[in-house]
């Protein structure tokens, strides 16, 4: 009888994140818990102690592949308020400029260091989307360059390992800076002042529905999340071929989640209200482990040096470009550099790293914790979706110069 069954696999995966969380708390958020969990998983997987398909054995892969990602995106989107998003054009511009930094470095220093095909082909995955990586891979396959096709995939896999600690440090420094200059305290006061009005509005929404007392339950909230996700899926699937996948189901989950929450059809953070956030996000985190399971050790080692080289070079370009833009926009350079790392860590990494840094900063008060969450998490999530679009556009242009 095999040791690896659903319960044992689930326990071991949970242990990975327990270890990661302990390290994150011990280092006050400077070392990201997810990065630690991934490193522990890779070490045990390549040593043969745990199987590569441990997340599939636990049944978590099936959850992620079906409803977890749509529900999580709708859940996060519900926290984005349109009135506040008017000021978030700066977040979008940071990602655009960061992508420009990637392209400049890859097309100059990168070409000189690792060759044109690899350096230019890496622009897509470094920008942050799997589809952008696929565009580069298809061009490499068409030009009979399988080594380049493997390389861009390795870049996509490894860039998160480098992006996570950089993002953690930047966001940690941002929290430290806004505490020191009084900005966090001011935002806490604003949040406290808005609390009574928000509570009254929420109570009004409840009274507005005549049959709410009959249907109000965890199941009702879950039902509404599922309906919003379903509508977004069908609309996104219909628009994907028309827009060449620029507008797709994933993007529609975000849009429809925001709209549904703004119209009062969906609660803010509905998964938490439905008391299902824990298991769903646990399954989501497991997706990060399964991403690395498909890469063998031999392939990883053969491509790791040039991949790490281009990732580090591009990271310098992103950080420099975003920091300079921050000076122009008069925003925190630490926040801008943290947002720029959304290109590397994607989703759910962009959300996870923000939440982990906040949770790892153990000396925050409850009010400061809530305020930091509102100030950072929505921007990091929005940053990913902007990066997903810009990376596709960048890859579409870059492939014409690969060979």
Q: What is the average pLDDT across 219-244?
A: 90
Asked whether residue 321 is domain-assigned, the answer is: yes
Per-residue model confidence as pLDDT tens digits over 198-212: 555 555 444 445 566
Q: What is the average pLDDT across 237-241?
A: 89
Spatial distance between the Cα atoms of 60 and 289, rounded to a whole number of angstroms? 11
Confidence tier at 78 by pLDDT (50, 70, 90): confident
Most confident by average pLDDT, 86-90, 185-189, 234-238: 234-238
- Rounded to 10°, the helix 277-293/33-46 angle is 50
- Say whether pLDDT at 155 is over 70: yes
Most confident by average pLDDT, 83-97, 186-200, 246-260, 320-334: 320-334
Asked whether residue 9 is domain-assigned, the answer is: no
Asked whether residue 7 is domain-assigned, the answer is: no
Spatial distance between the Cα atoms of 225 and 327, rounded to a whole number of angstroms? 40
- Count of structural domains, the chain: 1
Spatial distance between the Cα atoms of 376 and 232, rounded to a whole number of angstroms? 25
- Say whether pLDDT at 121 is over 60: yes
- Say whether pLDDT at 252 is over 90: no
Asked whether residue 61 is domain-assigned, the answer is: no
- Say whether pLDDT at 260 is over 70: yes
Confidence tier at 16 by pLDDT (50, 70, 90): very high
Enter the pTM of the model: 0.66
Full residue range of the structural domain in which residue 339 is found: 67-278+286-401
What is the number of residues in the chain?
A: 403
pLDDT of residue 206: 42
Higher pLDDT, 8 or 283: 8
Asked whether residue 15 is domain-assigned, the answer is: no
- Say whether pLDDT at 318 is over 90: yes
Per-residue model confidence as pLDDT tens digits over 27-64: 765 676 777 888 899 899 989 999 988 988 888 877 76
Asked whether residue 28 is domain-assigned, the answer is: no
Confidence tier at 19 by pLDDT (50, 70, 90): very high
Asked whether residue 12 is domain-assigned, the answer is: no
Confidence tier at 364 by pLDDT (50, 70, 90): confident
pLDDT of residue 101: 93
pLDDT of residue 218: 86
Most confident by average pLDDT, 52-61, 83-92, 238-247: 52-61
Q: What is the average pLDDT across 74-87?
A: 73
Asked whether residue 42 is domain-assigned, the answer is: no
pLDDT of residue 32: 66
């Amino acid at each position: 009888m095999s040791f690896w069954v659903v319960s044992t696999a689930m326990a071991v995966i949970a242990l990975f994140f327990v270890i990661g969380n302990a390290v994150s708390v011990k280092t006050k958020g400077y070392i990201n818990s997810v990065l630690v969990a991934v490193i522990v998983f890779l070490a045990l997987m390549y040593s043969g102690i745990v199987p590569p398909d441990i997340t599939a054995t636990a049944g978590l892969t099936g959850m992620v592949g079906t409803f977890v990602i749509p529900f999580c995106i709708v859940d996060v989107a519900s926290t984005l308020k349109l009135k506040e998003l008017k000021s978030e054009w700066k977040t979008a511009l940071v990602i655009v400029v960061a992508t420009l930094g990637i392209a400049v470095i890859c097309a100059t220093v990168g070409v000189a260091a690792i060759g044109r095909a690899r350096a230019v082909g890496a622009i897509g995955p470094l920008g942050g989307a799997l589809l952008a990586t696929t565009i580069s891979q298809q061009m490499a396959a068409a030009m009979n360059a399988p080594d380049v096709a493997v390389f861009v995939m390795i870049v996509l896999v490894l860039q998160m390992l480098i992006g996570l600690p950089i993002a953690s440090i930047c966001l940690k420094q941002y929290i430290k800076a806004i505490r020191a200059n009084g900005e966090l305290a001011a935002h806490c006061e604003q949040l406290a002042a808005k609390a009574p009005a928000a509570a009254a509005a929420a109570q009004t929404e409840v009274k507005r529905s005549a049959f709410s007392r009959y249907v109000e339950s965890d199941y009702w909230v879950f039902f509404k999340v599922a309906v919003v996700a379903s509508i977004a899926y069908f609309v996104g699937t219909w628009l994907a071929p028309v827009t060449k996948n620029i507008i797709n189901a994933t993007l529609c989950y975000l849009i429809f989640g925001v709209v549904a929450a703004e119209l009062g059809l969906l609660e803010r953070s509905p998964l938490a209200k439905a008391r299902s956030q824990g298991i769903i996000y646990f399954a989501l985190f497991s997706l990060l482990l399964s991403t690395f399971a498909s890469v063998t050790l031999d392939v990883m080692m053969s491509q790791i040096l040039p991949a790490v080289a281009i990732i580090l070079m591009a990271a310098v370009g992103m950080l420099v470009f975003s920091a300079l833009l921050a000076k122009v926009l008069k925003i925190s350079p630490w926040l801008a550099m943290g947002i720029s790392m959304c290109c590397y860590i994607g989703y759910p990494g962009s959300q996870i790293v923000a939440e982990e840094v906040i949770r790892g900063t153990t000396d925050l008060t409850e009010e400061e914790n809530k305020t930091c969450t509102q100030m950072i998490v929505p921007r990091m999530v929005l940053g990913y979706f902007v990066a997903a679009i810009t990376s596709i556009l960048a890859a579409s242009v870059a492939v014409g110069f690969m060979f």
